[in-house]
Amino acid sequence: MSLYALIDCNNFFVSCERVFNPQLENVPVAVLSSNDGCIVARSNEVKALNIPMGVALFEVEHILKKHQVTLLSSNYSLYADMSRRIMETIRTFTPEVEVYSVDEAFIRVDHMSYPDPTALAKLMRSTIMQWTGIPVSIGIAPTKTLTKVANEVAKTSPSYHGVLNINNKPHFTDEILSTLPVREIWGVGRQYSASFNRYGIHTALDIKNANHDWIKKNFGVNGLRLKYELSGTSCMSLNVITKRPKSIMHSRTFGQTIESIKPLVEATASFTTKLAAQLRKKQCVARTIHVRIESSRHKAESYTSRQAHITLAEPTDDTMVFLHATHQLIDRIWEPHILYKRSAVTLVDITANTQWQHTFLESPPTIISHKTKPSLGTSWISFGKYLDEAKEKNNTDLLGIKELSQNQYQPPCPIIFKNKKPRIKTKTLYKAIDSLNSSMGDNTVQFGSSGIKQKRWSSKSDSRSPRYTTRWDELLTVS
């Protein structure tokens, strides 16, 4: 019989902040989203004030001020690194770890050589706390769905000290399920919950006790799987191998509205650079790049959203190929006299990097553009020296442009790679760039197209704590 455990960090973002700032212990703390717009993490003290998750800051600001709640901007570099440390700590107990989210992981307890699962969970909890400073709760059960249930009880009931094992405790499990609303079951959305409620099913125990054939008839295989999981029969195995994503996206709301094209190019270039680095880290390549820019959604009468994409002739992980495509897309979709508030870049058609890929520097591309030819200066590519040398050698087709008529406006717009002798080993180049940015902090080495001066488009983060574990220049100092 299978036996799973779910390790879930308590108030993860807040806990990360408290590790490096002990003055935040036992005081109300809330962490804000990008641009300091919404609350995305709450300490127990803030939860006690009935402040909901995701609420806009301006809606509850008066309550927060009244109770002297400490507000912090999101520090995603810190949170990601602390998450990595926690997952590595878990792997010292077992190599079979399913990283479910930044602060959650599943493991198979029955595959381990510990005779007492509860004692194992207590040891893991104390080790994670000692090595990282992050408190966790651990739920143990025969199915992944039930581990979620056990974990929530362990987290909210102090008497369990952060660990609850409900295996072989059917009456106790039913007691918990009888108080669990359908809408709070793991994986049950709002519409699914409403469907159950229409039939008079309001709790997890109602689903468990429902007739097998009736569940299958009205809710199909997914409903039947949920019934089995709540009954203690495992239907979901451990997903140890990380699935290759079909797409990856980076988007941000700007700190200020943007009207001119230059900061839009800088913002999308910055997002594109991060996505390309992610591709290389995952050993993947992508063939399509999609860009969207939009005005403020809070001004419905003037809301504008424009988007376009380019499909390459072959997939790549080359940042500069993507940057060139991004520049073309912004040039195509930008319109003057619009105040843009947000942009997003998405890489699609992702595949494994199982063969050598041509790159911008290795095989200079011809780009078919829908609009005007971009400049070749360092304003949009930091490797301007390379481009200048290419022009001096009369490499006129380096960025040859073919104009399309208006009736050919619709994408895809392919980038065609010509078979030419490689000039620079970009694989080595990007390996060096990625290594420096990983060890010295993001943007230690960056492309000129992302902007080198103060970036008006950057999200507001007025109260961000230092990136203690990833930036040398932000380490704690003692005077």
Q: What is the pLDDT of residue 243?
A: 74
How far from 96 is each of 87, 137, 149, 204, CA to CA, in Å? 11, 19, 21, 29
What CATH number was assigned to the domain covering residues 4-168?
3.30.70.270
Length of the chain: 479
Please check the confidence at residue 373 and state whether its pLDDT lies above 70: no
Q: How far apart are the first and last CA of the chain?
A: 58
The three-state DSSP-derived secondary structure of the chain is: CCCEEEEEECCHHHHHHHHHCHHHCCCCEEEECHHHCEEEEECHHHHCCCCCCCCEHHHHHHHHHHCCCEEEECCHHHHHHHHHHHHHHHHCCCCCEEEEECCEEEEEHHHCCCCCHHHHHHHHHHHHHHHHCCCEEEEEECCHHHHHHHHHHHHHCHHHCCEEECCCCHHHHHHHHCCCEHHHCCCCCHHHHHHHHHCCCCEHHHHHHCCHHHHHHHHHHHHHHHHHHHHCCCCCCCCCCCCCCCEEEEEEEEEEEECCHHHHHHHHHHHHHHHHHHHHHCCEEEEEEEEEEEECCCCHHHCCEEEEEEEEEEEECCHHHHHHHHHHHHHHHCCCCCCEEEEEEEEEEEEECCCCCCCCCCCCEEEEECCCCCCCCCCCCCCHHHHHHHHHCCCCCCCCEEECCHHHCCCCCCEEECCCCCCCCHHHHHHHHHHHHHHHCCCCCCCHHHCCCCCCCCCCCCCECCCCCCCHHHCCCCC
Please check the confidence at residue 153 and state whether its pLDDT lies above 60: yes
Which tens digit of pLDDT belongs to each residue from 289-304? 999 999 888 777 788 8
Query: Cβ of 80: how many Cβ atoms within 10 Å?
Result: 14
CA–CA separation, 21 and 15 (whole Å):
10
| Stretch among 28-37, 305-314, 350-359 having the lowest mean pLDDT | 350-359
| Stretch among 136-140, 365-369, 401-405 having the lowest mean pLDDT | 401-405
CA–CA separation, 331 and 329 (whole Å):
5
Q: What is the pLDDT of residue 361?
A: 45
Model pTM score:
0.72
Tell me the average pLDDT across 343-355: 87
| Stretch among 84-88, 169-173, 376-380 having the lowest mean pLDDT | 376-380
| Residue 350 and residue 285 in contact, taking contact as beta carbons nearer than 8 Å | yes
Q: What is the pLDDT of residue 65?
A: 94
Task: For the chain, give every domain's residue range.
Answer: 4-168, 177-231, 247-450
| Residue 345 and residue 268 in contact, taking contact as beta carbons nearer than 8 Å | yes
From 364, 356, 354, select the one nearest 320 (Cα to Cα).
364
Which tens digit of pLDDT belongs to each residue from 56-69? 999 999 999 999 99
Average model confidence (pLDDT) for the chain? 83
Which tens digit of pLDDT belongs to each residue from 324-339? 999 999 999 999 888 9
Q: What is the pLDDT of residue 454?
A: 61
What CATH number was assigned to the domain covering residues 177-231?
1.10.150.20
Work out whether strand 39-42 and strand 29-32 pair parallel, antiparallel, or are unpaired. Answer: antiparallel
411 vs 296, more confident: 296
CA–CA separation, 116 and 476 (whole Å):
41
Cross-strand bridge partners of residue 140: 5, 165
Please check the confidence at residue 318 and state whether its pLDDT lies above 80: yes
Please check the confidence at residue 391 and state whether its pLDDT lies above 60: no
Work out whether strand 70-73 and strand 29-32 pair parallel, antiparallel, or are unpaired. Answer: parallel
Q: What is the pLDDT of residue 159?
A: 93
Q: Which two tokens stand for residue 11?
A: 């108030």
Tell me the average pLDDT across 137-161: 96
- Split at pLDDT 50, 70, 90, the class of 374 is very low
Q: What is the pLDDT of residue 28?
A: 96
Tell me the average pLDDT across 229-233: 95
Report, at the CATH architecture level, how domain 247-450 is classified.
2-Layer Sandwich (3.30)
Determine the distance from the C-alpha atom of residue 436 to the mean position of all C-alpha atoms in its chain, rounded to a whole number: 22
